[in-house]
């Protein structure tokens, strides 16, 4: 009887969908987990009632995941420190801009034996370097943190439509009681298949870099170049993602990119109609500035790819590596420097097979 206490930090649509999964598994695996799963909810009023009260009585996050019943063992908690008190396993699932504040509140309050999994996609890139979000949590809180990422559109997962995900989780001490098996048991469902790998950097990079590829696939849609071209851009994008990982994080495995859900599968999903893809297509079709379109199409939400393309470009430029990543560089230049997207085949040709 491990009686592990699990807390989910975050309650957006993805946070709530993950809390649902985790609570289902906690209830079914009482030999490992305590049944109740706390979910930290940023308190707000919905039609005059506190959101935490609605969740705890109606078992539905009416604001961020309406129409989906949450298990009754998901317990919404408005105070962050109450939500994590005595927890053994923390699941981070908040928009990444809120993370620094959350970590500063938790700093010094979490024992070093606690383990964490970050469902926050991606990395922070600056000209100076790349910070993996899971590593940031590790460093801020002094605990081990893994990463979950995959082809996981939250509404489909919440509706229990079949999907797969990848969790990177490899505790330094193999005898740690919260090991990969425990983590898989917490997340794996009949409709949500989990594969655990050891590659935190690779899984995290996939979640960020795929958004650049999705913009490029949007350009192809905008030019109406068809299925061959779209598949070609996805393939080249996947190869540049892999190369980026291997070059700057030599501990990455190429297979994380080419074989796992967080890699090839998430790229396919993101290129078949996600936000970045739509934005890229609209940009080519309308020839209007991307920030204007972002505002209009996404109603205040951000297409992460634009920022990532900019940050990755700055990172590569400082290292003199732009030429090794022609697709990433072209995406940046199409958005920011007026490069004609019709030049893509020629740009990609310049780095092809030489004998």
Binding site per annotation, positions for substrate: 121, 275-276
Q: How would DSSP label each residue in 155-174?
A: HHHHTT--EEEEEE---SST
Identify whether 210 is a catalytic site residue. yes
By CB under 8 A, the count of residues binding its own copies is 52
Residue placing its CB nearer to its own copies in the complex, 73 or 261: 261
Residue placing its CB nearer to its own copies in the complex, 46 or 229: 229
Binding residues for its own copies restricted to 150-209, rule: CB under 8 A: 151-153, 156-157, 161-164, 180-181, 184, 190-191, 193-196
Pick from 5, 20, 115, 230 the residue near its own copies by CB under 8 A.
Answer: 230
Distance (Å, whole) CA 18 – CA 234: 28
225 binds its own copies (CB under 8 A): yes
Report the length, in residues, of the chain.
355
Pairing state of beta strands 192-197 and 163-168? parallel
Q: How far, CA to CA in Å, does 118 sit from each of 71, 107, 123, 256? A: 22, 16, 11, 17
**Scanning the structure block, which residue is given the tokens 């409709």?**
191
348 binds its own copies (CB under 8 A): yes
**Part in contact with its own copies (CB under 8 A); list of ranges 74-82, 138-146, 301-309, 338-346:** 338-346
Pick from 34, 240, 266, 333 the residue near its own copies by CB under 8 A.
Answer: 266
Residue 29: other Cβ atoms inside 10 A:
15
Nearest by Cα to 115 from 35, 5, 256, 1:
5
Q: How far, CA to CA in Å, does 327 sit from each of 217, 236, 269, 309, 341? A: 11, 7, 19, 10, 11
Residues forming the annotated binding site for NAD(+)?
Answer: 10-15, 42, 98, 154, 275, 302, 304
Distance (Å, whole) CA 302 – CA 300: 6
> Would you call 108 exposed, middle or buried from its count of C-beta atoms within 10 A (0-12, 13-18, 19+)?
exposed
**Part in contact with its own copies (CB under 8 A); list of ranges 36-44, 49-57, 126-134, 267-275:** 267-275
**Active-site position among 210, 230, 299, 321:** 210
In angstroms, give the least distance from the CB of 260 to its own copies: 8
346 binds its own copies (CB under 8 A): yes
In angstroms, give the least distance from the CB of 99 to its own copies: 25
Burial 175-212 (b: 16+ CB within 10 A, else e): eeebbbebbbbbbbbeebbbebbebbbbbbbbbbbbbb
In angstroms, give the least distance from the CB of 185 to its own copies: 10
228 binds its own copies (CB under 8 A): yes
Residue placing its CB nearer to its own copies in the complex, 39 or 194: 194
Distance (Å, whole) CA 96 – CA 133: 8
322 binds its own copies (CB under 8 A): no
| 124 beta partners | 131
243 binds its own copies (CB under 8 A): no
Give the binding site for its own copies (CB under 8 A): 151-153, 156-157, 161-164, 180-181, 184, 190-191, 193-196, 220, 225-232, 234-236, 238-239, 255, 258-261, 264-266, 268-269, 272-273, 344-346, 348-349, 352-353, 355
Catalytic residue annotation? 210
């Amino acid at each position: 009887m491990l009686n592990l206490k699990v807390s989910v930090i975050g309650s957006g649509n993805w946070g709530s969908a993950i809390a649902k999964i985790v609570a289902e598994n906690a209830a079914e695996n009482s030999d490992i987990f305590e049944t109740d799963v706390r979910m930290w909810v940023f308190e707000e009023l919905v039609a005059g009632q506190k959101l935490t009260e609605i969740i705890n009585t109606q078992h539905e996050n009416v604001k961020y995941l309406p129409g989906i019943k949450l298990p009754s063992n998901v317990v919404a908690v408005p105070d962050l420190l109450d939500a994590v008190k005595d927890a053994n396993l923390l699941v981070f699932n908040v928009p990444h801009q809120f993370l620094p504040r959350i970590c500063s509140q938790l700093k010094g309050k979490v024992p070093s034996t606690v383990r964490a999994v970050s469902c926050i996609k991606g990395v922070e890139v600056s000209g100076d370097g790349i910070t993996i979000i899971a590593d940031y949590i590790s460093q801020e809180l002094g605990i081990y943190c893994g990463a979950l990422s995959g082809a996981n559109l939250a509404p489909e997962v919440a509706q229990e439509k079949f999907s797969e995900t990848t969790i990177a989780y490899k505790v330094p001490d193999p005898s740690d009681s919260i090991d990969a098996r425990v983590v898989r048991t917490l997340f794996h469902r009949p409709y949500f298949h989990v594969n655990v790998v050891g590659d935190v950097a690779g899984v995290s990079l996939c979640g960020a870099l795929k958004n650049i590829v999705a913009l490029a696939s949007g350009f192809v849609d905008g030019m109406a170049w068809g299925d061959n071209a779209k598949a070609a851009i996805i393939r080249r994008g996947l190869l540049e993602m892999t190369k980026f990982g291997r070059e700057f994080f030599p501990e990455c495995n190429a297979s994380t990119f080419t074989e796992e859900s967080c890699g090839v599968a998430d790229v396919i999903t993101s290129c078949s109609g996600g936000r970045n893809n739509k934005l890229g297509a609209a940009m080519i079709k309308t020839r209007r500035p991307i920030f204007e379109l972002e505002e209009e199409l996404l109603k205040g939400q951000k297409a992460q790819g634009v920022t990532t393309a900019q940050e990755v470009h700055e990172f590569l430029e400082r290292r003199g590596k732009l030429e090794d990543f022609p697709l990433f560089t072209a995406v940046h230049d199409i958005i920011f420097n007026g490069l004609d997207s019709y030049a893509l085949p020629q740009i990609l040709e310049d780095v092809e097979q030489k004998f």
